[in-house]
Amino acid sequence: MSPAAASPAVLVVEDEPLIRSLAAESLADAGIPAIEAEDSEQALALLGRHPEIRLVFTDVNMPGEMDGLRLVQRVHEIRPEVELIVTSGRRPIAERDIPDDGTFLAKPYGLRQLVDTVRRKLGLAARHGGR
């Protein structure tokens, strides 16, 4: 299967391993492939190697030089077709501060809410079953 024909994947960027794993597992259980990154540097490297990534879901507060808002700005510069969802439990982010038509999802979010938001952003029909 060519990269263009691959199922759209989500890059989950979160420095908290349990939260990252739960988000990725919930997406995978819903039939949406998920790739995990623990920080912005790793996320950008994975984005370069995985053309099937069609959405980045990132926390704002992360270690390193680039927070989640700077990450989505960079993603938008290099892959403008990639959809963006930003999350934070510390402060609300105005959607106008997220490039293109990015979405803010406040923590704590429900796993069903995450899956539904990703499906909507990717234009995927809801599947019955799962979480």
pLDDT in tens, 33-75: 999 999 999 999 999 999 999 999 999 999 889 999 999 999 9
Distance, CA of 64 to CA of 50 (rounded, Å): 22
Q: Is 42 left (phi over 0), alpha (psi -120 to 50) or beta?
A: alpha
User: Which residue is listed with tokens 């069609």?
Assistant: 54
pTM of the model: 0.90
Contact yes or no for 52/9 (Cβ under 8 A): yes
Distance, CA of 66 to CA of 41 (rounded, Å): 8
pLDDT value at 5 more than 60: no
Q: How confident is the model at residue 127 (pLDDT cuts 50, 70, 90)?
A: low
Mean pLDDT of all residues in 107-120: 97
What is the model's pLDDT at position 129? Answer: 44
Contact yes or no for 120/114 (Cβ under 8 A): no
pLDDT in tens, 88-101: 998 888 888 899 88
What is the model's pLDDT at position 10? Answer: 98
What is the model's pLDDT at position 92? Answer: 83
Helices of type H across the chain: 17-29, 40-49, 68-78, 111-122
Parse the chain into domains and list their residue ranges. Answer: 3-122
Tokens of 84: 């963006």
| Topology of domain 3-122, CATH | Rossmann fold (3.40.50)
Give 128 or 44, the one with higher predicted confidence: 44
pLDDT value at 130 more than 50: no
